[in-house]
Structure 1
Amino acid sequence: MNWDTIKGNWKQMTGKIKEEWGDLTDDEIKEAEGDRDQLIGKIQAKYGIAKEEAEKQVDAFVAKH
């Protein structure tokens, strides 16, 4: 799956995102609203990781869904 597909199905993907990054709140996921960079920023802030690591995690998530 690619990011455009995830963005287009954002409401359906929120559950899978919540499973992957359980510390993100529903509001944080909603705020990202399909924006890859927003999601990366929220993961980076919530988990205290580098941007590159957050990008790797998001890319891995996209690859498996």
Structure 2
Amino acid sequence: MDAEQIKANWNKVKGDIKKQWGKLTDDDLAEAEGHRDYLIGKIQERYGIAKDEARRQLDEFEKKL
């Protein structure tokens, strides 16, 4: 699923995101609302990882969708 499909199916996808990254809050997901860069930043912040690692994890997640 690509970024545009994720935006279009945000309500369904955010449940899957919450399962993958449980430290993300409902507010984080509401703010992200399908915006990839914001989501990468929040994953980076909540998990204390580098931006490149957060991007890699999100890329892998998107491939599984």
Q: CA RMSD in A?
A: 0.6
Displaced runs of 4 or more, over 3 A: none
2:6 matched to which residue of 1? 6
User: Which secondary structure does the structure 2 equivalent of 1:34 belong to?
Assistant: coil
Over residues 8-38 of structure 1, what are the superposed CA-to-partner deviations in whole Å (9 max), with x where a residue is unaligned?
A: 1111111000001011011101111100000
Measure, in 2, the Cα distance between the counterparts of 1:60 and 1:4.
Answer: 16
Correspondence 1:18-57 to 2 at 5 A: 18-57=18-57
Q: TM-score, normalised by structure 2?
A: 0.96
- Where structure 2 has 5 or more consecutive residues not aligned to the other structure, the ranges are none
Q: TM-score, normalised by structure 1?
A: 0.96
How many equivalent residue pairs? 65
| % identity of equivalent residues | 57
